[in-house]
């Protein structure tokens, strides 16, 4: 899978991760991807943020189960939830969505406002599409209504996809 060219070749490559409420999957994905990029020596070349398509949790922190799962595995947990805005398209090189429902929401925004911000559909992908073995299901399921084991399963999916994406970012930006 080929990544889109940086929109600003002089600045960092900007990646935004999107889920529904921005308290579970997308902040977990942002923390995992950021850690992988740091380990690869790419922390200064790529910026990662996250948001949600819904506004229920704006201004709040990460779900305690998501934070606990990250902490146990050595990741940072600082986070303030925010909502995805059409203006986010103005400077993001890549927008990665956790599931097909939220992908459809963001795609509608891209269809309606993308041209205004110079953002085309090639910059919108599913996060898990970067996992080498995602199989037939490219989605990261929402663990919110389940138990702690769902958060661990999601973390495993995110780690796999983040490794694949980090490899592609290294190839794109250093290759």
> In 3-state terms, what secondary structure has residue 121?
helix
Burial letters 42-73, b for 16+ CB under 10 A, else e: beebbbbbbbbbbeebeeeebbebbbebbeee
Q: Which of 14, 24, 25, 36 is catalytic?
A: 25
- ∠ Cα 12 34 126 (to 5°): 85
Using CA atoms, how far residue 157 sits from 47, 103, 115, 163, in Å, is 21, 17, 32, 10
Q: Which of 63, 93, 99, 142 is catalytic?
A: 142
Q: Which of 19, 63, 82, 93 is catalytic?
A: 19
Query: Is 142 noted as a catalytic residue in this protein?
Result: yes
Question: Which amino acids are annotated catalytic?
Answer: 19, 25, 142
């Amino acid at each position: 899978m080929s990544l889109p060219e940086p929109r600003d070749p002089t600045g960092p490559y900007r990646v935004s991760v999107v889920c529904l409420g921005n308290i579970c999957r997308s902040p977990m994905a942002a923390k995992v991807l950021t850690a992988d990029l740091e380990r690869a020596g790419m922390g200064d070349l790529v910026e990662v943020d996250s948001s949600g398509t819904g506004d229920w949790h704006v201004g709040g922190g990460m779900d305690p189960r998501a934070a606990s799962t990250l902490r146990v595995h050595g990741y940072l947990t600082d986070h303030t939830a925010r909502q995805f805005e059409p203006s986010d398209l103005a400077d993001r090189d890549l927008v990665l969505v956790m599931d097909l429902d939220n992908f459809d929401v963001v795609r509608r925004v891209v269809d309606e406002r993308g041209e205004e911000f110079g953002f085309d559909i090639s910059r919108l992908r599913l996060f898990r599409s970067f996992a080498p073995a995602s199989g037939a299901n490219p989605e990261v399921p929402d663990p919110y209504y389940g138990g702690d084991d769902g958060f661990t399963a999601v973390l495993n999916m995110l780690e796999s996809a983040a490794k694949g994406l980090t490899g592609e970012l290294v190839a794109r930006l250093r290759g």
